[in-house]
Amino acid sequence: MLERNERLIVRKRIFYALFNRKEVKLNMEKLITRKEAAKLLGISIATLDEARNSGLISYIQYVPNGCVYFTDAALQEYIAKSTHRAKPMEKRVTYRNIRRG
């Protein structure tokens, strides 16, 4: 039977082996706070909260009435929803009005 110290060493090795697997690392995303998200998007915190409350952006909240976090994927999805294509310019070559004589 293994001694206590040996069992702890084996547990640590198993933990590090599982933690360092690439599949585990890919699923762990960095959580972004409201302040950081607003700064990244270039909008105010109030605008970010309004978008969150209207369902335009997904968020993570572990405890009711607790801190709100966003993921990078959620911010990219919000940018994609909020971005509109530019209207094509008119065919007018100059801004000057043409004189008619």
Domain-wise residue ranges, the chain: 4-81
State pLDDT tens for residues 34-68: 999 999 999 999 999 999 999 999 999 988 888 99
Only one residue has tokens 């599949």, namely 23
So what CATH class is 4-81?
mainly alpha
Beta strands 32-33 and 69-70 are antiparallel
Q: How confident is the model at residue 93 (pLDDT cuts 50, 70, 90)?
A: low
Rg value, the chain, Cα: 26
Q: How confident is the model at residue 82 (pLDDT cuts 50, 70, 90)?
A: confident
100 or 27, greater pLDDT: 100
State pLDDT tens for residues 7-40: 666 666 666 665 665 544 445 678 999 999 999 9
